[in-house]
Structure 1
Amino acid sequence: MQELLKISYEAENPTVSARELYDRLNIKSNFTTWFRRMCEYGFEDGKDFFPKMEESTGGRPSEEFAMKIDMAKEICMLQRSPEGKRIRQYFIDLEKAWNTPEQIFARALKMADKTIEELKHNNAALLEDNVRMKPKEVFADAVATSQSTILIADLAKLLKQNGVDTGPKRLFEWLRVNGYLIRRKGTDYNMPTQKSMELQLFQVKESTVNNPDGSVRINKTTKVTGKGQQYFINKFLKE
């Protein structure tokens, strides 16, 4: 079948350029005047035709319209001309071909392929996010429900296992520099600061040691609470 006009199949319903139809019908009046006159026959903007802006040869945008095939057929019939009759028959023949079982099946396959590609793209993005975030989310959730305290060195190991480049010495130094542990040398060195205690990030565990001379020594150990573990993990993972 010889192509009289270019048909666009991008939308759900095929459309044709109003200006191209105007040219093929050999209309003598101005395009805009002609098109407005055609619209007076009851055609609706957004239902039967769709405005679109295109750049003209002079570089200035011109108003164009894409019209559904049904509208184009009616306009051809209204012209009462040999061109109108020939183009209308062209549309009818196209519709017959468009609705053959082969064409319907071909369109269904095309739509299925497009849907599959979109799903692949969306699933790939979701999978990437899931792979990236799942270890951190599981880790943070596990810590959030933890009721036990751990040593700062153990916290450093957990952070290291989850991609945070740190170790016990560096973590202790970071905690001191950032005001979570006491920096000054003395009996309180590496003990929680007042800020840390108010945030309930640490607990101080005391243990007694019997010296050979019979005296008793009290050792103090700073341990990270479940709340503290969640606090520092979220802080490091976000950073």
Structure 2
Amino acid sequence: MNELIKIEQSKINNELVKTVNARTLYEFLEVETQFKDWIARRISEYGFIENTDYLSFAQKRAKPTGGRPSVEYHITIDMAKELSMVERNEKGRLARKYFIECEKIVLGESKQIKTDNSGLVQFRQARALKMATESAKDICLMFPSLSEKSKQVIYAGLVNPIAGAEIIPLPKLEQKLYTAEDIGKILNISANKVGRIANSLGIKTQENGENILTKSKYSAKQVPNFMYNDKGLEAIRLALAEAS
């Protein structure tokens, strides 16, 4: 689209909006009255509001005889359309049609920006999901003894918050699990002794429990910790009874 009248940007009410220099529009419309009289009358007749529909400012213009600076106006596209329409001539109709086409272009650009931003959000989410999945994989590779359920918990904990949905379900606990401390309290022995018995008899197997990644007591690191099921508890109890 050819530029009939230059479209600029002005800050009105702390917002950047598309505007037109009123004098440029005046000259295009070929108005016969003086500019200052024309713009003042139109503002009064149609109730245009300063700092909403237009900005006014003093500007020095080249005048052979000197004199005071002229008052210039930056008007919104809506105001420019209305000023064009009320002239009721061919130039006015042409200008109004031009401004309508300019608005369509601006609206189209705005929609395109929203679409592009939507695509950018999706791209970032996809990248974050990929990074979370790779992190979960690395953690699981660091601790190969972890059970499948524990690995599933790691993946779910890293991926689901980014996805905003439970795309990886948490495994259902089908059995009660005990720490070495839990078993120690039940059998009235120390957690260290529970561990020694389990290690000496090879009780730390999938049949008797599972390795779960938990926070270390003495640091912020995650470490694999064997959790005993009911069968593991009974194996420790039996070993303790046989040793008595």
State the TM-score bracket (shorter-chain normalisation). Answer: 0.3 to 0.5
Q: TM-score, normalised by structure 1?
A: 0.42
